[in-house]
Amino acid sequence: MLTDYLDQLRTRNANGLLPVDGLTIPAVWIDHEAYLQQRHKQCAFNLYAAAMFQHALAPLAHAFGDQHMEQRVQQLGADLLAATSERFWSPEQQIFINNLPWLDEAIERQGPRLCDRSLATAILFEQCPAGQTAAALKALVECPDAMGLSFPANAGWRYWALGRSGRTDIILKDFRTRWADMSSVRLNNTLQEFWQVAPDTTAQWSHCPLAPLYILGSEIMGARPTEPGFARYEVQPQLADLPALRATIHTPGGPLTLEAVRQGAGQHITLHTPSAGEGTLLVPQGTRFESAVLTAVGSANEKKGQLRHQLEPGQACIFWQPDSLN
């Protein structure tokens, strides 16, 4: 069974972590471009596995009524997270450092190394000790030379973390510069495999980096299911400086459509909800409703001033939303 296999791998290591090298035939991949050495993947891999145990496998066990398995995988995740933090978290810099255990070795002369995958995972699943996410978010925003950047097909992890942290301005900047300027986009109307490709080589000029598509839906339009099949969902538009946007997500309960036009220091938005499903709209303070005022259901995040409003099925909701301050 998967849990038994991973637990055996973990307990065979003195540091209580899942290994990423010395596995003979199996291999830990994670990414093509973000790491200088294979062992630098151990932090990201173990944060990812801890999140899988606690946020995916445990809820599945709960859904099947397997209380023993639920408790077991929750504990496995907690143990992995604790071991990862012990080995890779820098209290001084308040960030996960991929090569922290080996910094005194000559082969690590390039200094501390970060990666977007470990930092994004830590933000998304609240894995930073004492909630200290500022340094991780700063690195994801600024992309310092010391941070390995995942190849395009894995770019969604960084964008998810930026979106959940209210920094869709950085996502849109990346779309306009890093993505729109791809050689494959300019010359071939396709999406290349790696950030840099050359013609007349074995480089793939048509690959599957779909982050701009799904990030548009989940972070910029801000539509996310909170229960399977969009039975419950939330919408949190974060349009940054977009002059206009029209986007539709086809849910099992029908289309969810957002139309927006920049108006002054904000966005004029019309939201058409699906004919089935219970929705919640998350908007900043200062939002003005032109259609019927929605039922307020409390504050989503008092620090960021986000307010929650109930969305009815088959509703047209019209409002002006001020720009958020990052």
Instruction: Please state, in angstroms and rounded to a whole number, the distance separating the CA atoms of residues 15 and 48.
Output: 17
Is residue 30 domain-resident? yes
For residue 113, name the pLDDT band (cuts at 50, 70, 90): very high
The domain that holds 77 is classified in CATH as 1.50.10.10
For residue 304, name the pLDDT band (cuts at 50, 70, 90): low
13 and 134 share one domain: yes
Instruction: Please state, in angstroms and rounded to a whole number, the distance separating the CA atoms of residues 290 and 324.
Output: 20
Instruction: Choose one of 101, 121, 150: the last residue of a domain.
Output: 150
Q: How confident is the model at residue 305, as a pLDDT?
A: 67
118 and 73 share one domain: yes
Q: How confident is the model at residue 313, as a pLDDT?
A: 95
Residue 126: which domain range? 2-150
260 and 172 share one domain: no
Is residue 163 domain-resident? no
Collapsing DSSP to helix, strand or coil, 102 comes out as: helix
pLDDT (tens digit, 9 = 90+) per residue, 50-84? 999 999 999 999 999 999 999 999 999 999 999 99
Centroid of chain to Cα 325: 20
107 and 79 share one domain: yes
Tokens 């173990």, residue located:
46
Collapsing DSSP to helix, strand or coil, 232 comes out as: strand
Q: How confident is the model at residue 135, as a pLDDT?
A: 98
Amino acid of residue 77: G
pLDDT (tens digit, 9 = 90+) per residue, 260-302? 999 999 999 999 999 999 999 999 999 999 976 667 676 555 4
Instruction: Please state, in angstroms and rounded to a whole number, the distance separating the CA atoms of residues 86 and 54.
Output: 18
Q: What is the dihedral of CA 213, 216, 222, 225, to 10 degrees?
A: 0
Which range has the worst mean pLDDT, 23-27, 53-57, 182-186, 317-321?
23-27
Q: What is the 3-state secondary structure (H, E, C) of 46-73?
A: HHHHHHHHHHHHHHHHHHCCCHHHHHHH
pLDDT (tens digit, 9 = 90+) per residue, 114-134? 999 999 999 999 999 999 999
189 and 296 share one domain: no
Reference 170, options 145, 134, 127, 139; nearest CA is 139
Q: If you ran DSSP here, which 8-state letter would residue 182 be given?
A: -
Is residue 146 domain-resident? yes
135 and 193 share one domain: no
| Average pLDDT value over all residues in the chain | 92
pLDDT (tens digit, 9 = 90+) per residue, 182-218? 999 999 999 999 999 999 999 999 999 999 999 999 9
Do 149 and 36 touch, CB atoms closer than 8 A? no
Do 164 and 45 touch, CB atoms closer than 8 A? no
For residue 23, name the pLDDT band (cuts at 50, 70, 90): confident
135 and 190 share one domain: no
Q: If you ran DSSP here, which 8-state letter would residue 304 be given?
A: T
Q: Is the pLDDT of residue 223 over 60?
A: yes
How would DSSP label each residue in 109-152? Answer: TT---EEHHHHHHHHHTT-SGGG--HHHHHHHHH--TTEE---G
**Is the C-alpha dihedral spanning 305, 310, 311, 317 positive or negative?**
negative
Q: How confident is the model at residue 111, as a pLDDT?
A: 94
Reference 135, options 124, 119, 151, 149; nearest CA is 119
Which range has the worst mean pLDDT, 44-48, 140-144, 200-204, 244-248?
200-204
197 and 123 share one domain: no
106 and 240 share one domain: no
Is residue 280 domain-resident? yes
Is residue 156 domain-resident? no
Is residue 97 domain-resident? yes
- Count of domains observed in the chain: 3
Is residue 158 domain-resident? no
Phi, psi at residue 130, to the nearest 5°? Answer: 55, 25
Q: How confident is the model at residue 306, as a pLDDT?
A: 81
Is residue 237 domain-resident? yes
Q: How confident is the model at residue 44, as a pLDDT?
A: 97
Q: Structure pTM?
A: 0.93
What integer is the mean pLDDT of 170-185?
96
Strands 266-272 and 316-322: antiparallel
72 and 106 share one domain: yes
123 and 239 share one domain: no
